[in-house]
């Protein structure tokens, strides 16, 4: 498959006022040189702690935010160079779904109005808006008789389905999914993930999938990018990342997953403290202030994201660091995955699995 999306050295700095009445300004280094490629029909997961810049990357890709520098290529076209008018019509091909669909649905619009609005805006399905709205409901496993209802009449999982239906209304090629299941119960998570995978197969969609649950990521992603303080610190296909995580940060994220059996032992690598303030990120390697392996060079030199055998890592010393307990950590991910998959089997993508 050809490359659908290419992020090329994306940077987003937010200037902010530090004092209410003062003129002193500071810059939030939200995203600092992020590059990746995504092929049609594939899913790239973006993982990392809160505040690492994942949502900002998602919004830059859709050009809901203007980058400070860098480019976004989509289907061979430079999105960052499109005039606003052309970007508006292009946006049909790039959609976003959110963690909390309720906040992105208009409470005063029925589901039908919600689904018809983007059709009208982009001149799609002329003369058959109502039929198209019913088709979209069918596509996401909701009964068409719900079209006349309002968002508050649905459960969280059903609202996420409506959010997905609205994104699909304009027949996109790429969907940025920003923590789409983080707020849902495990069994409902499984339904939504199944639905997203089923839609991907049927419609050839590409996903940028932002998540913090590594079991969900292991299920849905083809590739994984690990972000820390505005940088991608590791990028690999799913198998490579979970089987042999190279960056100490990735290793720490994996080792933070609780072990399935009580009493099971492994060496855990605990992440101390919080992500540092992105207004003044640490010099050199941004992870060094929390890294147990940090040395002098880490404070002086920013490690480049280097590829070795299709697996990239940004760490000066990764070859010297044995992946501690990585295999055990992966067992913990798998255990969670087995439970999720049990939920997948019992729920499938059947319709009306929830009642209102
Ligand atoms: N509009 C904004 N103005 C100032 N800072 C922002 C803005 N949006 C995001 N940030 C900051 O950028 C950093 C990255 O945020 P975000 O992309 O939301 O992270 P994530 O999605 O990984 O939690 C955070 O420190 C956040 O506070
Ligand atoms: Mg976010």
Could you read off the pLDDT of 155-200 as tens digits, one per residue?
A: 999 999 999 999 999 999 999 999 999 888 888 899 999 999 999 9
Question: Of all atoms in ligand 1, which is nearest to the CA of residue 227?
Answer: 22
Alpha carbon distance 235, 46 (integer Å): 9
DSSP string for residues in 148-177:
GS-GGGS-HHHHHHHHHHHHHTT--SEEEE
What's residue 135's pLDDT? Answer: 96
Residue 31 CA: which ligand 1 atom is closest? 14
pLDDT above 70 covers a percentage of the chain that reads: 85
Q: How confident is the model at residue 24 (pLDDT cuts 50, 70, 90)?
A: confident
Measured between alpha carbons, how far is residue 280 from residues 70, 177, 264, 275, 277 in Å? 21, 29, 39, 11, 6
Angstrom distance (rounded) from CA 35 to CA 7: 5
Q: Which ligand is nearest to the CA of 52?
A: 1
210 CA to middle of ligand 1, Å?
14
How much distance in Å is there from the Cα of 170 to the middle of ligand 2? 24
Question: What average pLDDT does the chain have?
Answer: 89
Per-residue model confidence (pLDDT) at position 356: 37
Q: Count Cα neighbours of 123 within 13 Å in the Cβ-side half-sphere.
A: 2
Identify the pLDDT of residue 348.
Answer: 45
336 lines ligand 1 (CB under 6 A): no
Measured in angstroms, how far is the CA atom of residue 17 from the centroid of ligand 1? 15
The lowest-confidence range among 48-57, 147-156, 213-222, 345-354 is 345-354
> Of 236, 242, 186, which Cα lies nearest the Cα of 214?
242
Task: Give yes or no for residue 176 CB within 6 A of ligand 1.
Answer: no
> From the CA of 51, which ligand is nearest?
1
Which of ligand 1's atoms lies nearest the C-alpha of 59? 17
DSSP output for 100-143: -HHHHS-TTS-HHHHHHHHHHHTT-STT-HHHHHHHHHHHTT--
Find the 296 Cα to ligand 2 centroid distance in Å: 32
Supply the pLDDT for residue 104: 81
pLDDT at 185: 87
The per-residue pLDDT for range 250-293, each reduced to its tens digit, is 998 988 776 566 666 666 667 878 889 999 999 999 999 999 99
User: Distance (Å, rounded) from C-alpha 268 to C-alpha 352?
Assistant: 42
Instruction: Provide the pLDDT for residue 352.
Output: 38
Single pTM value for the model: 0.90
Q: How confident is the model at residue 353 (pLDDT cuts 50, 70, 90)?
A: very low
pLDDT tens track for 98-118: 988 778 899 999 999 999 999
Closest CA to 205 of 235, 167, 237: 167
CA of 29 to the centre of ligand 1 (A): 9
Higher-pLDDT residue of 35 and 16 is 35
What is the DSSP secondary structure assignment for residue 79, as one 8-state letter?
G
283 lines ligand 1 (CB under 6 A): no
Cα→Cα distances 12→66, 71, 247, Å: 8, 11, 24
Segment among 60-74, 132-146, 219-233, 253-267 with least mean pLDDT: 253-267
- As to burial, measured by CB atoms within 10 angstroms (0-12 exposed, 13-18 middle, 19+ buried), residue 186 is middle
**Pocket residue to mutate for ligand 1, from 56, 99, 208, 233, most atoms within 8 A of Cβ:** 56
Residue given tokens 């280094």 in the structure block:
29
Q: What pLDDT, in 10s, does the model give residues 38-54?
A: 999 999 999 999 999 99
Q: Is the CB of 26 under 6 A from ligand 1?
A: no
pLDDT of residue 99: 87
Start-to-end Cα distance in the chain: 41
- Which residues have CB atoms below 5 A from the ion given as ligand 2? 55
**Cβ of residue 91 lying under 6 Å from some atom of ligand 1:** no
Phi–psi pair at 191, nearest 5 degrees:
-65, -45
Which ligand has its closest atom nearest to the C-alpha of 180?
2
CB of 28 shorter than 6 A to ligand 1: yes
CB 316, CB 297: distance < 8 Å: yes
For residue 147, report the distance from its CA to the centre of ligand 1, in Å: 35
Task: Quote the tokens at residue 346.
Answer: 């019992």
pLDDT at 195: 94
């Amino acid at each position: 498959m050809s490359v659908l999306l290419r992020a090329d050295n994306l940077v987003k700095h937010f200037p902010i006022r530090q004092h209410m009445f003062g003129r002193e300004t500071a810059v939030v280094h939200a995203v600092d040189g992020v590059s990746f490629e995504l092929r049609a029909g594939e899913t790239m997961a973006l993982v990392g702690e809160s505040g690492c810049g994942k949502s900002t990357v998602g919004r830059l890709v859709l050009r809901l935010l203007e980058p400070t520098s860098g480019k976004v290529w989509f289907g061979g076209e430079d999105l960052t160079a499109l005039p606003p008018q052309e970007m508006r019509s292009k946006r049909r091909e790039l959609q976003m779904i959110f963690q909390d669909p309720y906040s992105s649905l208009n409470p005063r619009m029925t589901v039908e109005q919600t689904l018809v609005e983007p059709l009208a805006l982009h001149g799609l399905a002329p003369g058959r808006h109502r039929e198209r709205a019913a088709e979209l409901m069918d596509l996401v496993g909701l009964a068409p008789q719900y079209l006349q209802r309002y968002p508050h009449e649905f459960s969280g999982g059903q609202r996420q389905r409506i959010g997905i239906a609205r994104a699909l209304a304009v027949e996109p090629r790429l969907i940025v999914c920003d923590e789409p299941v983080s707020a849902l119960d495990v069994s409902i998570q499984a339904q939504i993930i199944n639905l997203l995978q089923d839609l991907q197969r049927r419609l050839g969609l590409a996903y940028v999938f932002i998540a913090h649950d590594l079991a969900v990521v292991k299920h849905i992603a083809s590739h994984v990018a690990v972000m820390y303080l505005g940088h991608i610190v590791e990028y690999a296909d799913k198998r490579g990342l979970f089987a042999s995580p190279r960056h100490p940060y990735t290793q720490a994220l994996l080792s933070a997953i609780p072990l399935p059996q009580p009493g099971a032992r492994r060496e855990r690598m605990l992440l101390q403290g919080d992500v540092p303030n992105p207004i003044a990120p640490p010099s050199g390697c941004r992870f060094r202030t929390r890294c147990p392996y940090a040395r002098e060079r880490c404070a002086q030199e920013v490690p480049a994201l280097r590829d070795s055998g299709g697996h990239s890592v940004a760490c000066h010393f990764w070859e010297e660091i044995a992946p501690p307990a990585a295999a055990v950590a992966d067992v913990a991910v798998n255990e969670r995955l087995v439970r999720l998959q049990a939920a997948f089997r019992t729920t499938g993508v059947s319709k009306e699995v929830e009642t209102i």
